[in-house]
A and B are shown apart, each in its own frame.
Chain A
Amino acid sequence: MRYAETGYILEIDLSRGSIERVETDPALTELYLGGQGTAAKIQWDRVPPEVEPFSPDNLLIFSAGILIGTPVPGANRTAVDTFSPQTNLYSHSLFGGFFGAELKHAGYDKILIRGKASDLVYLWIHNDKVEIRDATHLSGKGALETGECIKAELKQSEAQVAAIGLAGENRVYMSTIEHANSSASRGVGVIMGDKRLKAIAVRGTKDINVARPAELFELCNPMYQAIYDNPYCGDVFLHEDDEEWHVNNFAWGNARERQKGWWSKEREEKWKAISDSVRLRWTGCYNCPKDCHQAIRYPGRPTYFQKCYSKLTYAMAAYKELDFNYDILGVTQEHGLDGYSTPQVLAFGVELYEAGILSDKDLPNFPTDSGERFFYLVEKIVRREGVGDALANGVYHAARQIGNGAEKFDHNSTKKFEQLPLKLKMVNYPYFLMYATGEKMTITQTEGSYPQVPIADKKEREEFVKNWDAAPERFKKWYLEWEPRTHPSVEASVNIADWNETMHYIDDAIGTCAFLSSFRGQFGGRPPYHLYNLPDFISHATGLDMDPDRIWKIGRRNRNLIRALNIRRGMRRADEKPPEDHWQIRDPEMETRLLDEYYKFKGWNNDGIPTRETLDELGLDYVSKDFIERGLLTDGGNAPAKETSV
């Protein structure tokens, strides 16, 4: 019997209309655990680097992490993995809600989509019964609206639905997959749309078994109250009405400038009143006591869910107030547009118009008000009308398609992907490494365990370290020594970047939410889940013998396998750069040294390619063999001198 996982994948070929239920190899669970990890192995085996993202051979994989559906509170994140047309690299997203648990109860750990349907379809999974159904009547419908329509026509109010909006249907690169109160961002909706898959509906009523039930429940039952009471986890910022930190530190417009002094007590009161008036309630995800999502009903808009920092992204990009943000989210959520990258694309479009690069001919009847301009551009983008066709490809590609100097306005992307709008003074060593080398494409999926700044008072620092259960010993020493406004040493920086990202690779294999673990140690240092307590949860649930070293090694294995996917597609050191003006003061010499040292620490050669020794030690010898055959590594494990770039 398989524990925690079902042991089955649902494989759908939309070109042929075939549906298969495929048993998985338990040995792969031991190596990669599940979620993103086991999905990456499938991508390695089945999507060779020649496969273009819009090819029918590209796979779109939905993976319920291995702990989803077990009693472990807060394990509810479904990973969506594919290759992105924006970056031509590995593309990874996560969403919470209820989908993953329902999928497990239907009897599957993953849904693997290949091929392309000839017209819009949706998938209906009801335990063993799986159908590909016509969805042409849902064309153009909003993402949550689609879910409601499908539940009504199937007469299955308890089905869980993940759907794309108009943006995904029209292959907009910023398109999301929306489900209940959650969104899979970072552009995975574009592949779902390319495959002509409007939605997946799932209903499952089968049991999930765990290996050591009594022990697991004894661990889990106190976690509900512990997580609820823990002030350092969940979406702490979203619950605050004082937005000073975000408003002061994040950049406005097209990631251009900070507006210090703009925030005031009066504004806080005004904004709080707006939020209170449009919020129906706070909601949570499956089996998690934190309420990180606002159900919003804005006048004239359908009910939608707001999460995370999307509360401010549109307002700040358009230099508007909070009511504008709630208003436009009512439109963009239903279209299925990413609340991080889309505002930047819109602000970029406005900048090009103001610079005369886009004219009234490109944007007929372009409004004068910045907010109205955003609404205007959104409709152009989701329909790929006129200049919206270029903007729908994200800032990097749009800049080059529009040309005429537009390239200069693309200043906040890394590996062709929009980054958080941040403008900071001095290069930050660990952050430089995370921006440059992170392959989850955004800093929020890479940072999170080590605090961003030291506590100024030494005594308080000592107090903090005393109860820092989440941290491996070496970090305690570095943190104690860390004085404000000083850089951590190169050795510390390399370790910090490594610990931060490894925790995300662990979370994304097991399905625990980063707000309870990998993202949450950096503020307060008390994440409910961490390297030292997760192994027990995993062991009792799965029956695998787990300890901190083993789980760390799985994190490293998955991390290197995913890097290998990108290396095989041509990514190299030359691509590993932070956004160009993220920091005002740079230190090229130090940056080179940091990257050298980080690669060395990671067991990668000087071009960022994992060496044969590293790969073989992790059991990834099939990767090293492939690299040697392709001439990416020599037999000795060193790369040839040739420098390439995607």
Chain B
Amino acid sequence: MSAESKKRIIKEIKVDLDKCIGCRACEVACSAFHANPKYSSINPARSRIRVVIDELNDCYVPIRAGDYTPSECNGRHSYTIDGKQYRQCSFCGVSCPSRDLFKEPDSGLPLKCDMCEDDPPIDVPMCVQVCPHDALTYEEKEEEGEEEEKREELEIGLEALAKKHGVQKVRDALARMSKKPD
């Protein structure tokens, strides 16, 4: 791994909850963009962004499917509520559906927001493009810094399991699994 200092682009979708009208156009656009072939089907249940709506409590919270983090709001998204910016979970009063929402309805496999990093790349993620109210806005920042060490998928997955069940349980399960005959 190189520890050289180099420039990298930080992409971010900012969410202003005060501006969300709850139309869910972001879900429509996201699900269609990620369909294969592109745009061939529409299904908000496959979207990597979901607007969690609790109408009677005036909660409208667009949440994106992040990496394998235990909570989707955890430091990966920035939210504006009543003009103030938040980067932490537990601000919104909505019972957080967390990753339960972000599963392929057919396979149950997890979905993950890829900022529409497509080939060829598009300038602005689709969900932001269809949000003229600017509840979703896109920002790119250039940052000097060390390239983040890219972690193996297996390691990230294991870490999530460890967080959920405790390291000992995961260790025990692995031990049991490795003992099983083929």
Contact of A286 among B24, B40, B57, B130 (CB under 8 A): B24
Q: Which of B20-58 contact A (CB under 8 A)?
A: 21-25, 28-29, 32, 35, 37-46, 52, 54-58
* Alpha-carbon distance between A206 and B130 when the two chains are bound, in angstroms: 22
| Cβ contacts under 8 Å, B22 to chain A | 283-284
Nearest CB of A to B95, in Å: 8
Contact across chains for A69 and B55 when beta carbons are under 8 A apart: no
Q: Which of A186-239 contact B (CB under 8 A)?
A: 204-210, 213-214, 216-217, 221, 224-225, 228-229
* Alpha-carbon distance between A484 and B3 when the two chains are bound, in angstroms: 78
Contact across chains for A295 and B24 when beta carbons are under 8 A apart: no
| Cβ contacts under 8 Å, A288 to chain B | 23, 25
Contact across chains for A224 and B42 when beta carbons are under 8 A apart: no
Contact across chains for A209 and B133 when beta carbons are under 8 A apart: no
Contact of B58 among A70, A207, A228, A280 (CB under 8 A): A280
| Cβ contacts under 8 Å, B57 to chain A | 303
Q: Which of A64-113 contact B (CB under 8 A)?
A: 69-71, 73, 98, 101, 105
> Which of A69, A148, A286, A303 counts the most chain B CB atoms within 10 A?
A286
Query: Within 8 Å of chain B (Cβ to Cβ): is A144?
Result: yes
| Cβ contacts under 8 Å, A204 to chain B | 45
Query: Within 8 Å of chain B (Cβ to Cβ): is A291?
Result: yes
Query: Within 8 Å of chain B (Cβ to Cβ): is A180?
Result: yes
Residue of B nearest to A216 (CB): B39
Contact A144 to B21, CB < 8 A, known contacts A205-B43, A207-B43: no
* Alpha-carbon distance between A283 and B60 when the two chains are bound, in angstroms: 10
Contact across chains for A71 and B55 when beta carbons are under 8 A apart: no
Contact A289 to B45, CB < 8 A, known contacts A213-B40, A214-B39: no
| Cβ contacts under 8 Å, A69 to chain B | 42
Nearest CB of A to B5, in Å: 39
| Cβ contacts under 8 Å, B43 to chain A | 105, 205-208
The number of chain A residues with a CB under 8 A from chain B is 44
Query: Within 8 Å of chain B (Cβ to Cβ): is A141?
Result: no
* Alpha-carbon distance between A336 and B48 when the two chains are bound, in angstroms: 35
Contact across chains for A73 and B97 when beta carbons are under 8 A apart: no
Contact A289 to B133, CB < 8 A, known contacts A157-B97, A281-B60, A303-B56: yes
Query: Within 8 Å of chain B (Cβ to Cβ): is A570?
Result: no
> Which of B37, B105, B130 counts the most chain A CB atoms within 10 A?
B130
* Alpha-carbon distance between A205 and B108 when the two chains are bound, in angstroms: 12
* Interface 0/1 of A1-39, CB less than 8 Å to B: 000000000000000000000000000000000000000
Residue of B nearest to A76 (CB): B23
* Alpha-carbon distance between A544 and B44 when the two chains are bound, in angstroms: 25
Contact A303 to B41, CB < 8 A, known contacts A287-B23, A287-B24, A288-B23: no
Residue of B nearest to A302 (CB): B56
The number of chain B residues with a CB under 8 A from chain A is 35
* Alpha-carbon distance between A476 and B21 when the two chains are bound, in angstroms: 37
Contact across chains for B23 and A284 when beta carbons are under 8 A apart: yes
Residue of B nearest to A98 (CB): B24
Q: Which of A285-334 contact B (CB under 8 A)?
A: 285-289, 291, 295, 297, 302-303, 305
Nearest CB of A to B26, in Å: 10
Residue of A nearest to B133 (CB): A289
Query: Within 8 Å of chain A (Cβ to Cβ): is B137?
Result: no
Contact across chains for B39 and A105 when beta carbons are under 8 A apart: no
Query: Within 8 Å of chain A (Cβ to Cβ): is B69?
Result: no
Query: Within 8 Å of chain B (Cβ to Cβ): is A181?
Result: yes
Query: Within 8 Å of chain B (Cβ to Cβ): is A263?
Result: no
Residue of A nearest to B97 (CB): A157
Nearest CB of A to B91, in Å: 17
Query: Within 8 Å of chain A (Cβ to Cβ): is B132?
Result: yes
Contact A144 to B56, CB < 8 A, known contacts A71-B28, A213-B32, A287-B28: yes
Nearest CB of A to B37, in Å: 7
Residue of A nearest to B58 (CB): A280
Contact across chains for B41 and A285 when beta carbons are under 8 A apart: no
Query: Within 8 Å of chain B (Cβ to Cβ): is A271?
Result: no
* Alpha-carbon distance between A69 and B28 when the two chains are bound, in angstroms: 8
Query: Within 8 Å of chain B (Cβ to Cβ): is A366?
Result: no
| Cβ contacts under 8 Å, B132 to chain A | 224-225, 228-229, 289
* Alpha-carbon distance between A163 and B39 when the two chains are bound, in angstroms: 33
Nearest CB of A to B68, in Å: 22
Query: Within 8 Å of chain A (Cβ to Cβ): is B98?
Result: no
Contact across chains for A180 and B129 when beta carbons are under 8 A apart: no
Nearest CB of A to B28, in Å: 5
| Cβ contacts under 8 Å, A105 to chain B | 43-45
Nearest CB of A to B122, in Å: 11
| Cβ contacts under 8 Å, A71 to chain B | 28-29, 32, 39, 42
Q: Which of A476-522 contact B (CB under 8 A)?
A: none
* Alpha-carbon distance between A70 and B29 when the two chains are bound, in angstroms: 10
| Cβ contacts under 8 Å, A283 to chain B | 21-22, 55, 60
* Alpha-carbon distance between A205 and B42 when the two chains are bound, in angstroms: 10
* Alpha-carbon distance between A206 and B45 when the two chains are bound, in angstroms: 8
| Cβ contacts under 8 Å, A217 to chain B | 32, 39
Nearest CB of A to B129, in Å: 7
Nearest CB of B to A167, in Å: 20
| Cβ contacts under 8 Å, A289 to chain B | 21, 23, 25, 130-133
Contact across chains for A181 and B55 when beta carbons are under 8 A apart: yes
Contact of A224 among B24, B25, B41, B46 (CB under 8 A): B25
* Alpha-carbon distance between A98 and B24 when the two chains are bound, in angstroms: 9
Query: Within 8 Å of chain B (Cβ to Cβ): is A353?
Result: no
Contact across chains for A205 and B56 when beta carbons are under 8 A apart: no
Contact across chains for A297 and B58 when beta carbons are under 8 A apart: yes
Query: Within 8 Å of chain B (Cβ to Cβ): is A409?
Result: no
* Interface 0/1 of B76-114, CB less than 8 Å to A: 000000000000000000010100000001000000000
Contact across chains for A205 and B105 when beta carbons are under 8 A apart: yes
Contact A303 to B58, CB < 8 A, known contacts A208-B42, A213-B38, A287-B25: yes
* Alpha-carbon distance between A207 and B37 when the two chains are bound, in angstroms: 13
* Alpha-carbon distance between A180 and B23 when the two chains are bound, in angstroms: 12
* Alpha-carbon distance between A285 and B22 when the two chains are bound, in angstroms: 7
* Alpha-carbon distance between A148 and B55 when the two chains are bound, in angstroms: 9
Contact across chains for A221 and B129 when beta carbons are under 8 A apart: yes
| Cβ contacts under 8 Å, B18 to chain A | 281
* Interface 0/1 of B122-142, CB less than 8 Å to A: 000000011111000000000
CB<8 Å pairs between A and B, sample of 12: A69-B42, A70-B42, A207-B41, A207-B46, A209-B42, A213-B40, A213-B41, A221-B129, A225-B132, A281-B58, A287-B25, A303-B58
Considering the complex of A and B, which 8 residue pairs feature the smallest CB-CB distances, nearest first?
Answer: A228-B132, A213-B39, A205-B45, A207-B41, A284-B23, A284-B21, A205-B105, A280-B58
Given contact pairs A148-B56, A207-B41, A207-B42, enumerate 5 new A-B contacts (beta carbons under 8 Å): A210-B39, A213-B35, A213-B41, A289-B131, A295-B55
Q: Which residues of B contact A (CB under 8 A)?
A: 18, 21-25, 28-29, 32, 35, 37-46, 52, 54-58, 60, 95, 97, 105, 129-133
